[in-house]
Structure 1
Amino acid sequence: MLPGTDVPVWLVDMPRWFERNGGPYLSEKNQDWPDNAQRFAAFARAVVELACGRGGIAWSPDVVHCNDWQTGLVPALLQYEPSPPATVFTVHNLAYQGLFPHDTFHELALPPLLWGLDGLEFYGQLSFIKGGLVFGDRLTTVSPTYAREILEPEQGGGLDGLLRHRSGRLAGILNGADYTLWNPATDVCLDHHFSSRSLAGKAMTKRQLQRQIGLSQSNEPLLGLVGRLVEQKGLELLIDVLPQLLRRSLQLVILGKGEARFERVLQQAAASHPRQLAFVSGYDERLAHRIEAGADMFLMPSLYEPCGLNQIYSLRYGTIPIVHGVGGLADTVVDASLANLKAGTATGLVFAEPTPVALITAVDRALGLYGQPNVWAGMIENAMAQDFSWTKSAQGYLDVYQSALADRAGSSRPVSVSA
């Protein structure tokens, strides 16, 4: 059973494909497993067996919900079953498409009719993600804005034409936050708890965090960043403005791991400014919670962001997010414009263009507001009042499941489309 529920869970046990060191997608050297196509094709076939009541258990689903390219073959293979369940396919990040050479299509012994523009072929390659996009009864992304963005060439990854064709069955549903884990009043990773009614614990957490990571015990605003150190997350923007940031009266803590070039620059900068900048390579769950709770502001300069969760966590902890207005960031953070400040709705700083000038301008705006205690307190109160729990998101998925069931009842398979 799923812990704390009466929901049964079945796990697919395939030691040949999945019992190995490293992660489910990448090796210990942070590289794609060379047999990923075979691994996830085998997993897809196992899911199809279970979905069609051939899994050795007295149960079969009404809806199969697939996520990202690793499960893209499931909707494609299910169309060959006599009475398949409805399918929903969710795109978490369209940049990862599961592309493999044409020969792989034959090696996997996939049905020949699946090869072609209205199947799994993508510019001469095998595309796993097209299986979900073409044959899923309903499609979703993890935020409404991202659902619109992938319909355009800039973020469509070459699939925008297909997505526009299927846009009538595409919906954007925000990921939700688990507030049993991310709640400053009860967070087990914190020694000092707080709420919007009493922020003393936040100030104490900031001091504790400064001591832990070796920053000076300063009243200067503390900016945090937690995440993968890759280009998508806006690391080049951050590196470009880092000298300017460090000339301002602020502190910065960064927790993450990623490209060596970014880590190297951050390590050097931290060594040169030890009382102002702390960089921790890797991931530490407890430290991540303390950064969310102890920082005054949170940086998310992502070039694109299908949803993002850290800005949602930051809002709950009264840590004002500074974000590039794309994807889920645009859907969750309300910019501190004069009109929004006057209306009492501002929860963060949003910049429109992914440029160093726009990022440093947004930081300067935040620093100016931080220097106005009453205004800043109002933003913290607004931020902490936001509700991005799973309740609303779950209802959205239930609605999509009902639509998928209706689609399946009215048609034996989704319409044929071309890329």
Structure 2
Amino acid sequence: MSGSNPTRSVALKILHVAAECYPWLKTGGLADVIGALPSAQCAQGMDARILLPGFPAIRAGLIDAKRVAVMPPRFVAECVLWQGRLPDNTPVYVIDAPSLFDRPGNPYADGDQRPYPDNHRRFALLGWVAVQLAAGHLADWRPDVLHAHDWHAGLASAYLKHAALLRGVKPATSVFTVHNLAYQGLFPAYIFGELGLPGNFFQYDGLEFHGQLSFIKSGLQFSDRIATVSPSYAREIQSVEHGCGLDGLLRYRAADLTGILNGVDAASWNPASDPALPGHFDAEKTVGKARCKASLQKELGLAGAPNALLFGVVSRLTEQKGLHLILAGMWKIIAQGGQLMVLGSGEAELEAGFKQMELDYPGSVVVRLGFEESLSHRIFAGADVVLVPSRFEPCGLTQMYGMRYGALPLVRRTGGLADTVVDCTLENLADGTACGFVFERFEQADFDAAVQRAFVLHAKPTQWREVRRHAMGRQFDWTAPALAYEALYRAAMQAGAA
């Protein structure tokens, strides 16, 4: 902020702005990040808080809720700001606007997966309220940093820029994290007039994107700093292949772009104490993992075969995740006595493909459509291998959960998967760094070869146990990412004060 001189001894105040947050509402990894990063920052002495839309699950979960402000009409006639806390005591603000947020379906679409036609108003309100908080209009607390996450919060950056133009000073430093560039928040140009922004904000160097309006471009264009969720993904999104049409802008802002690898909540994901598991274990004492595998096979109706190589998939069922590679290669897994457990939902074609596979291979393949948090923990604990053959993957938490629970990840070398999984090559096995199976090209032959290498290693129990022990010992907690974000915030603040 203008005139500030931030030093390490000053506790930063950060407002995280997002659409979902674990444990209240989760459709993907974004919720895990919002549920863990602010808590880690508070543990390091920062004053981190969260702003969320008032979806029913979020309002119901808010602890010690109290009304903070009644907001003037903007996008909706009735709007109240509440403050409460997460179960871990992280402070949370919630926008209570029932006509916008109190709906069935997931946060972004109805029960038939059709995006709500007024999503532009729903998430414009989220960005607008964030800036009202940053400007001190709604509470007696003002953040130094407004940290917006993904397209849902992207418009906060534009509103912050507009506030700075009106006041001559910006209310807060802005950071925007891209969790997945493929989801951009695109809307018809005619809705721009509803947003309350100057006309010149709808230009090629503003919100305009090929004749449409892009919320994610707002974050990329107007934020002081841009972050994304792994170093490799930060490089990849500057390419035509992975830039989703925004690679030119990202190359232009390359000096302001940083890749910070996500972490894992070590308390929620701990096989030594996880209440969802029938047996507990750690890297040195793994008897409980065998118990988890046998229990999972029984629970799901898989054949009770302790030596079968059990593959697990916990994923959104989308083309991005490379799941057609699993469908096409499954017969080779079954032919060698392997088993597969799938948990997820998504594209109808993939759901149908996996359900057909379950019919074709009874006792060897089980598919559960939907999502159940506790079952996902049991799958990681019971599986030998977790499959993440993504076409692209900004960070990926699945492979980290798998390693923590002794399920070796089989991944494509892309994004955060490349940054976290070390392939079981002869060299890496020899020096003790191997922790999974990595294939290069997004092609069936490469995936099948990686699967075959998993079977070969599994046939060598001593080596398998050593690789598993190393994988379970990898550290992916939130300490390092929280410190990296603090450094990013302070650099942005110092640049703004210069």
State yes or no: 1:181 paired with 2:274: no
Name 1:362's counterpart in structure 2. 450
2:154 to 65, 72, 76: 72
- Give the alignment partner of residue 127 of structure 1, picking from 211, 214, 233: 214
Does 2:200 match 1:117?
Answer: no
The 10-residue stretch of structure 1 (262-271 or 366-375) with the greater mean CA deviation from structure 2: 262-271
Report if aligned partners of 1:234, 1:302 keep a CA contact under 8 Å in 2.
Answer: yes
Kindly report which structure 2 residues correspond to 1:79-158, keeping only aligned pairs within 5 A, or say none. Answer: 79-81=161-163, 82=167, 83-84=169-170, 85-158=172-245
Answering whether residue 10 of structure 2 is matched by residue 10 of structure 1, we say no
Please give the residue correspondences for 1:223-262 in structure 2 after superposition, counting only pairs within 5 Å. Answer: 223-262=311-350
Q: Write out aligned runs for 1:15-414 (5 A).
A: 15-55=98-138, 57-81=139-163, 82=167, 83-84=169-170, 85-218=172-305, 219-410=307-498
| Partner of residue 414, structure 1 | none
Kept in 1, the 8 Å contact 2:263–2:477? The answer is yes
CA contact (8 A) 1:138 1:403 kept: no
Aligned amino acid, residue 59 of structure 1: W
User: What per-residue deviation string (whole Å, max 9, x for no partner) do you get for residues 305-354 of structure 1?
Assistant: 11111100111111111001111111111111111111010000000011
Offset, 1:6: 5.5
Instruction: Kindly state the Cα deviation for residue 107 of structure 1 after the two structures are TM-superposed.
Output: 3.2
Coordinate RMSD, CA, aligned:
1.2
Q: Secondary structure at the match of 2:241?
A: helix
| Alpha-carbon distance between aligned partners in 1 of 2:105 and 2:264, rounded to the nearest angstrom | 27
Secondary structure of 1:153's counterpart equals coil
SS of the residue corresponding to residue 384 of structure 1 reads helix
Alignment partners' CA distance in 2, 1:310 and 1:375 = 23
Shift of 1:407: 2.3
Question: Distance between the aligned counterparts of 1:191 and 1:295, measured in 2?
Answer: 14
TM-score scaled by structure 2? 0.80
The range that moved more, 104-113 or 164-173, is 104-113
SS at match of 1:342: helix
| More RCO (CA 8 Å, sep 6+) | 1
> How far 1:248 moved relative to its partner?
2.0
Deviations 1:102-121 (A, max 9, x none): 11112333211101111111
Secondary structure of 1:180 counterpart: coil
Amino acid at match of 1:174: L
Q: Which runs of 5+ in 2 are unaligned?
A: 1-83
Q: Separation in 1 of the partners of 2:357 and 2:347?
A: 16
Q: Which amino acid aligns with 2:145?
A: V
Equivalent-residue separation in structure 2 for 1:47 and 1:401 (angstroms): 17
The amino acid across from 1:9 in the alignment is V
Q: Distance in 2 between matches of 1:275 and 1:9?
A: 45
Q: Distance in 2 between matches of 1:262 and 1:370?
A: 28
- Residue identity opposite 2:331 in structure 1: P
Partner amino acid for 1:228?
A: R
Q: Which residue identity is paired with 2:183?
A: Y
Q: CA deviation at 1:236?
A: 1.6
1:244 CA displacement: 2.5
- Greater strand share, 1 or 2? 2
Q: How many residue pairs align between the two structures? A: 409
Q: Which range moves more in the overlay, 386-395 or 81-90?
A: 81-90
What amino acid sits opposite 1:80 in the alignment?
Answer: H
Identity of aligned residues (%): 46
Deviation at 1:79, TM superposition (A): 1.4
Checking the alignment, whether the CA contact within 8 Å between 1:44 and 1:71 is kept in structure 2 is yes
Q: Partner letter of residue 194 of structure 2? A: E
The answer (yes or no) to whether the contact 2:270–2:404 under 8 Å persists in 1 is yes
Q: Does the Cα contact within 8 Å between 1:151 and 1:164 map onto a contact in 2? A: yes
Matched to 2:254, the amino acid is S
- Kept in 1: contact 2:86–2:92 (CA 8 A): no
Give how far 1:30 is off. Answer: 1.6
**Residue 59 (structure 2) aligns with:** none
Q: Greater CA deviation, 350-359 or 10-19? A: 10-19
Structure 1: gaps of 5 or more residues: 411-419
- Between 60-69 and 17-26, report the one with greater CA deviation: 17-26
The residue that corresponds to 1:417 in the other structure is none
User: What's the CA shift for 1:23?
Assistant: 1.9
Secondary structure of the residue aligned to 2:411 is strand
Pairwise CA distance, 1:7: 4.2
CA contact (8 A) 1:79 1:135 kept: yes
Provide the rounded CA distance (Å) in 2 between the counterparts of 1:5 and 1:378: 35
Q: Distance in 2 between matches of 1:232 and 1:198?
A: 36
